[in-house]
Structure 1
Amino acid sequence: MLKNALKQYFGFDDFREGQEEIIQSILKGHHTLGILPTGSGKSLCYQLPTYIHQKPTLIISPLISLMDDQVMQMKMNGEHQVTAIHSGMSSDERTLAYNQLTSSRFIFVSPEFILQVHHLERFSQINFGLIVLDEVHCLSEWGFDFRPHYALIGDLLKLYTNIPILALTATATQHLKQDIEYVTDYSFKVFQSSMDRPNISLSVKHFDAYQEKLSWLLTTIDTSGPTIIYVSSKKVCLDIAEHIYAAGHLTGIYHGDLSYQERYTVQQQFLNNEIRIIVATSAFGMGVNKPDIRTVIHFHLSTSPSNYLQEIGRAGRDGQQSQAIALYQTDDQYLIETLAIANSIRDEDITLYQQGQLIDGEINDILTVLTQRYTIQALHQIFQQNYERKTRAFRHMLNYVSTQYCRRQQLLRYFDKPVITIENCCDICGIKHEIHEKNKKKVKRKRTHKEKLESLFE
């Protein structure tokens, strides 16, 4: 029966690994945590039950870019009863979206948006058949000290006690299930396929200085195919993009300070291959469904294995061989540590907040949100645990770049998961297939004699 529905609604004869078990669990009414690798068709796990039940689905999503990309993909595939509502929309766009709510099969919102009282009232009138927590690792990774409304999502779920919840992610730490159940007050059945991506080779390049990294990068992108370059800050993003442009390549930048329209434009240009290289902070990634990304370069290392797997998971979604390359210099250790734990909320912050003392405004806002549901004692325990996890995570990444053994084994050990890759594993085990896909230079400038000669043989 389920395969008949798959054929009817999507034209596929068979499910991908893990999809059928997750969908069966949902159809039986179980709260379900599905852990499937990037590019393995997680969205089908909620789309098919929606068509079968003929009831709308609410998808709570962490990023605007992710929502927009999923809405665009669904519309391109012929599903037009889909709506997203978020802060990046104009008032007219939002009014139009509100008017479409009652006729929508799929409704995408952020936690911050739907937890506003007047929005809760509006959505409580809709007879949902399924609630999806998309990219649910963010609830665990960001939920308390970055996006605190994630930690209140249980308040929303209390309004829909008889509706199954589907939590989806590509990466799962050993404590993810525990975190979700703590926040939602529900038990979840877990279905997980391998987190390994055999078609993405892993390597690390070591350098002594920033300029050495930059020189290597400018040479490599000539033949790296569609490429994402992850950096640590807006400042570095702009600097590297300028050098890439000066080298003759069109490139886009993506960071949190861009307007919604600027971010959307860059993303669409990249998806359409109008630009082949993106320089981005971690704000870019989860909403990008570009199948032919060949290379992901981390100019600065991610602060955790979860972030790293999510970011390199943009590569090779078409199943073709791709590569993830991390660039590392000794000084990066201090940068990674700072990014990982410098903004952690400490015991003294919570104590000062409780006493009504003046503290950092952002921390004050976070604690104000969280105390709607959690006691001060609970917050002390939560943030102590968060600090320990973040410390363990960034230290694991330092071990990843310094290991003398298989990098893939080192990376997946953090999740206690096995390696299934046999060929083109990592630079230590050996990579036979290196990416060599030319990125043509499109910036008009005076060419050197050598470049003119090379162009004759293209």
Structure 2
Amino acid sequence: MLDETLKNRFGFETFKPGQKEIIEHVLNQTDTLGILPTGSGKSLCYQLPTYIKEQPTLIISPLISLMDDQVMQLKRHGEHHVACIHSGMDETERTQNAKQLANSRFIFLSPEFLLQPHNFKLVKSLDLGMIVLDEAHCLSEWGYDFRPHYALIGKIVNHFQNATILALTATAPSYLSYDLKQILNKSFYVVKTTMNRDNISLSHKNFADDEEKLKWLLPTLEHAGPTIIYVSSKKMCLTLAQKIYSYGFLTGIYHGDLSYQERHTVQHQFLNNEIPIIVATSAFGMGINKKDIRTIVHFHLSTSPSNYMQEIGRAGRDGEQSQAISLYQPDDNFLLETLLFTDIVTIEDVESFELGQFLPPEKSEVLEILYGHYTYQQLRTIFEISYKRKRLGYMRMLGYKNLDQCRRAYMIEFFEEKLSEKPKQCCDNDSEINKINILNRKKVKRKMDFNEKLQNLFK
């Protein structure tokens, strides 16, 4: 039955690894955590059961770009019973989608939207067959200090007692199952294939300073194919993009402070190969369904193995050979530590909040959202554990820069996974890596003065 539905509804002859097992458990009403690598068809794991169950599915999604991409893909394949509401829409669009909720087969909403009582009224009477937690690692990565509403998703899930929960992610730290149980009060059957992507080679380069990084990077981009360059800050986004543009390449920037329309435009240009290079913070990637990204460069190291594996996983979704290259110079250490630890909520912040003392508005807002659902002691424990996890992931990434063993094995070991077989182009420590050789044409040309233009007319 499943194979027949797969062929008739989606046009595929066979399932990819992990898909069928996840779908079978979901149809048996088993709450399931599916861990499948980027590009392995996680969306199918909720779409196919939705058609079989003939009940609406709520997809709780972390990013606007992710919602937009999945809605677009569904509509492209003929599905029109789709509703999506997010902050990038104008009032008319939001109103239209709100009216469609009751008749929709797929409903895409953020946790922040759902946890507002007047918004929850729109869906609370629906007979949901499934609730999907898309990019479920966000519950662990973002679930307290960055996106505190993620830590309250249990309020939504527990309202729909008859709905099966499907959590999906490409990267799962060992504690994700524990976090899901703590936040949702539910146990999950885990289906895990591998986080390893054989077609992405791993390399790392150490430099004395950023100028040396640039001397290596700029000529490398000439033959890197479609490329994402990850940087640590919005300021660096603009600075680096300007240097690449001056070197001759059309270049887009992407960070959290851009408007919805600006982000949408950059994504569209990149998807359509109008610009070959994106310089971005970690805000870019989820929901960017571009299969031919050949190169991922980390101008600054990621702050955790989870982020790193997510970000490099955006390369080579078509299965073709791709490359992930990270760069480091000594000043990066301070930069990354500042980025990771300066604004986190600490045990001391919880104690100050309990005593009614002043806190920065961002921290105060986080604790106000969480307070009432958690006791002060629970909050102290939560943020102590959060700090230790961040420190552990950060130290793992610092170890990556001077590694003399297999980079691939080192990285997936963090997720309690062992490398069964090394690909031919594994990493720069144990393989002869063939560089990607796909030309990025230089499209930025020097402006001609009037006399030059005049001369060209008569050539």
With normalisation by structure 1, the TM-score equals 0.96
C-alpha offsets along residues 348-371 of structure 1, whole Å, 9 cap, x if unaligned?
A: 111110111111111000000001
Q: CA–CA distance in 1 between the matches of 2:339 and 2:428?
A: 27
Structure-2 residue corresponding to 1:434: 435
Structure-2 residue corresponding to 1:203: 203
Q: CA–CA distance in 2 between the matches of 1:58 and 1:79?
A: 15
Structure-2 residue corresponding to 1:424: 425
8 Å Cα contact 2:128/2:162 also seen in 1: no
Q: Is 347-356 or 290-299 further displaced after alignment? A: 347-356
C-alpha offsets along residues 92-124 of structure 1, whole Å, 9 cap, x if unaligned?
A: 110111122122211111000011001111111
Structure-2 residue corresponding to 1:136: 136
1:54 positional shift: 1.2
8 Å Cα contact 1:25/1:32 also seen in 2: yes
Structure-1 residue corresponding to 2:225: 225
Structure-1 residue corresponding to 2:98: 98
Say which SS state the counterpart of residue 8 (structure 1) adopts: helix
Give structure 2 stretches of 5+ with no counterpart.
Answer: 449-459
8 Å Cα contact 1:248/1:443 also seen in 2: yes
Structure-2 residue corresponding to 1:264: 264
Structure-2 residue corresponding to 1:407: 407
Structure-2 residue corresponding to 1:388: 388
**2:80 matched to 1:80?**
yes
Q: Is 184-193 or 328-337 further displaced after alignment? A: 328-337
Structure-2 residue corresponding to 1:288: 288
Structure-2 residue corresponding to 1:451: none
Structure-1 residue corresponding to 2:455: none
**2:183 matched to 1:160?**
no
Q: CA–CA distance in 2 between the matches of 1:142 and 1:373?
A: 17
Aligned letter for 2:446?
R
Q: Is 93-102 or 259-268 further displaced after alignment? A: 93-102
1:446 positional shift: 6.5
Q: CA–CA distance in 2 between the matches of 1:225 and 1:354?
A: 53
Say which SS state the counterpart of residue 68 (structure 2) adopts: helix
8 Å Cα contact 2:101/2:122 also seen in 1: no
Q: CA–CA distance in 1 between the matches of 2:406 and 2:261?
A: 42
Correspondences of 1:157-196 after superposition (within 5 Å): 157-196=157-196
**2:276 matched to 1:273?**
no
Aligned letter for 2:399?
N
1:217 positional shift: 1.2
Say which SS state the counterpart of residue 141 (structure 2) adopts: helix
1:21 positional shift: 0.4
1:80 positional shift: 2.2
1:154 positional shift: 0.2
C-alpha offsets along residues 27-57 of structure 1, whole Å, 9 cap, x if unaligned?
A: 0001000000000000000000011111111
Aligned letter for 1:388?
K
Structure-2 residue corresponding to 1:42: 42
8 Å Cα contact 1:197/1:421 also seen in 2: no
Correspondences of 1:289-308 after superposition (within 5 Å): 289-308=289-308
8 Å Cα contact 1:196/1:421 also seen in 2: no
Aligned letter for 2:431?
G
Q: CA–CA distance in 2 between the matches of 1:61 and 1:293?
A: 23
Aligned letter for 1:426?
C
C-alpha offsets along residues 161-190 of structure 1, whole Å, 9 cap, x if unaligned?
A: 111000000011111000011000011100
Say which SS state the counterpart of residue 249 (structure 1) adopts: coil
Q: CA–CA distance in 1 between the matches of 2:402 and 2:89?
A: 44
Say which SS state the counterpart of residue 123 (structure 1) adopts: coil
8 Å Cα contact 2:56/2:127 also seen in 1: yes
Q: CA–CA distance in 1 between the matches of 2:52 and 2:218?
A: 50
Q: CA–CA distance in 1 between the matches of 2:348 and 2:8?
A: 58
Give structure 1 stretches of 5+ with no counterpart.
Answer: 448-458
Say which SS state the counterpart of residue 344 (structure 2) adopts: coil
Say which SS state the counterpart of residue 410 (structure 1) adopts: helix
Structure-1 residue corresponding to 2:4: 4
**2:384 matched to 1:371?**
no
Q: CA–CA distance in 1 between the matches of 2:149 and 2:161?
A: 19
Aligned letter for 2:412?
L
Structure-2 residue corresponding to 1:70: 70
C-alpha offsets along residues 264-316 of structure 1, whole Å, 9 cap, x if unaligned?
A: 11001111111110000011011111000000000011000000000000000
Q: CA–CA distance in 2 between the matches of 1:170 and 1:312?
A: 11
Q: Percent identity?
A: 58
Q: CA–CA distance in 2 between the matches of 1:37 and 1:157?
A: 25
Correspondences of 1:97-116 after superposition (within 5 Å): 97-116=97-116
* Cα distance change of structure 1 residues 4 and 392 upon mapping to structure 2, 3 Å threshold: same
Q: CA–CA distance in 1 between the matches of 2:146 and 2:245?
A: 33
The runs of at least 4 consecutive aligned structure 1 residues that moved more than 3 Å come to: none
Q: CA RMSD in A?
A: 1.1
Structure-1 residue corresponding to 2:323: 323
1:76 positional shift: 2.0
How many residue pairs end up in the alignment? 447
8 Å Cα contact 2:145/2:344 also seen in 1: yes
1:58 positional shift: 0.4
Aligned letter for 2:359?
I
Structure-2 residue corresponding to 1:455: none
**2:27 matched to 1:18?**
no
Say which SS state the counterpart of residue 397 (structure 1) adopts: helix
C-alpha offsets along residues 309-346 of structure 1, whole Å, 9 cap, x if unaligned?
A: 00000000000000000011122112122222222211
Structure-2 residue corresponding to 1:452: none
1:66 positional shift: 1.0
Q: CA–CA distance in 2 between the matches of 1:4 and 1:145?
A: 45
With normalisation by structure 2, the TM-score equals 0.96
1:221 positional shift: 0.7
Structure-2 residue corresponding to 1:453: none
Q: CA–CA distance in 2 between the matches of 1:421 and 1:65?
A: 34
1:151 positional shift: 0.2
8 Å Cα contact 1:201/1:431 also seen in 2: no
Structure-2 residue corresponding to 1:443: 444
